[in-house]
């Protein structure tokens, strides 16, 4: 099984870690945290041991179902509500149920998830329940015109809902331009603008897009688009949106440079201006997160591979408090340095 660093280094870092896995009976990753009914719910992916060699397409991340976790206090008992959705109950899905998210509207709970269809193309599906913990019943088809991975649904204060999504390499975003598949999918050249995450207003029924997805542009300090070769700042995957003091904060993973970064805008569509790093690299390859306010404090949910001693596709959800400075900038977190 692939490891990102040697075991001795993992043990050293585990001793310095600022937080510990919230559950240890299963492997969990890609946590999307929400407050529903005054309770904190976490919607993670469910890592399993797959006998597949590590590769850049992420075939070793061969997840087959989803559990829902919850707690009534930030350091309280974590309840595993069991399997909320299984791939065998999704008619269109073939394999690889990756990072999900959830939303609530008019008494219904909507669960969004990426999975490869029978042709090995990533689509985004939706399942519905009367309860935040599920179980969820999948729609018979993926969302129309959906592609790529990592859906994140943001409810704005005006009652509108937006989906942010996308991921390059194994997430297949490089296969598309203007939401259309291209014959030879590849990343832009280093000097060209980086591929953008996608954003779309949701239809009132929460089951489809209300518009064609748009590019979410991230600009540098000079107002120029982040370049494809700028791997320390360009979008890779793990889109998330939250709002703080009237500003929209788009956060994401840089992928192969292993950082969580963020950019800020006055508009949910952007453009967004790059601001900095939220979380420095953790144990493992991937970094995926969510940011949520719960009982007047802001928390970052993320994952690492500490519980599995660095095995990259066996990860565990963690969390830590985040802080903003007087300018609204997020203070960078070192996962191995207690503040």
**Positions marked catalytic:** 30, 237
- Could you count the other beta carbons within 10 Å of the beta carbon of residue 113? 30
Report how far Cα 324 is from the mean position of its chain's Cα atoms.
21
Q: Which of 19, 113, 117 shows the shortest CA–CA distance to 68?
A: 113
Q: Are 13 and 29 in contact (CB under 8 A)?
A: no
Q: Which of 29, 22, 39, 28 shows the shortest CA–CA distance to 104?
A: 39
DSSP secondary structure letter of residue 46: E
Report how far Cα 70 is from the mean position of its chain's Cα atoms.
18
Please report how many Cα atoms fall inside a 13 Å half-sphere around the Cα of residue 319, on the Cβ side. Answer: 26
Q: Which of 98, 81, 88, 121 shows the shortest CA–CA distance to 46?
A: 98
Q: Which of 124, 127, 114, 146 shows the shortest CA–CA distance to 212?
A: 146
């Amino acid at each position: 099984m692939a490891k990102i660093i040697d075991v001795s280094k993992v043990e050293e870092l585990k001793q310095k870690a600022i937080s510990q896995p919230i559950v240890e009976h299963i492997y969990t990753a890609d946590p999307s945290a929400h407050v529903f009914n005054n309770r904190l719910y976490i919607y993670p992916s469910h890592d399993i041991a797959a006998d597949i060699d590590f590769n850049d397409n992420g075939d070793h991340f061969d997840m087959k179902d989803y559990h829902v976790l919850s707690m009534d206090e930030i350091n309280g008992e974590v309840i595993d509500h069991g399997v909320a959705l299984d791939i065998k109950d999704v008619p269109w899905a073939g394999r690889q149920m990756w990072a999900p998210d959830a939303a609530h509207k008019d008494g219904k709970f909507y669960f969004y998830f990426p999975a490869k269809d029978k042709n090995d193309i990533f689509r985004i599906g939706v399942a519905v329940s009367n309860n935040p913990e599920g179980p969820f019943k999948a729609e018979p088809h993926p969302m129309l015109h959906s592609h790529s991975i990592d859906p994140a649904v943001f409810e704005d204060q005006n009652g509108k809902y937006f989906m942010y999504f996308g991921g390059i390499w194994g997430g297949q975003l490089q296969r598309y331009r203007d939401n259309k598949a291209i014959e030879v999918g590849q990343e832009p050249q280093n000097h060209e603008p980086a591929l953008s995450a996608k954003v779309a207003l949701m239809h009132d029924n929460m089951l489809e897009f209300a518009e064609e997805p748009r590019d979410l542009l991230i600009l540098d300090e000079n107002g120029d688009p982040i370049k494809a070769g700028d791997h320390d700042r360009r979008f890779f995957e793990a889109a998330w949106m939250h709002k703080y003091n009237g500003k929209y904060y788009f956060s994401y993973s840089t992928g192969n440079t292993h950082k969580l970064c963020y950019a800020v805008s006055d508009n949910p569509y952007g453009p967004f201006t790059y601001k900095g790093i939220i979380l420095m690299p953790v144990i493992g390859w991937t970094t995926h997160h969510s940011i949520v306010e719960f009982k007047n404090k802001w928390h970052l949910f993320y994952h690492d591979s500490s519980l599995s001693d660095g095995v990259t596709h066996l990860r565990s959800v963690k969390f830590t408090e985040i802080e903003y400075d007087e300018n609204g900038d997020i203070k960078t977190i070192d996962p191995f340095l207690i503040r």
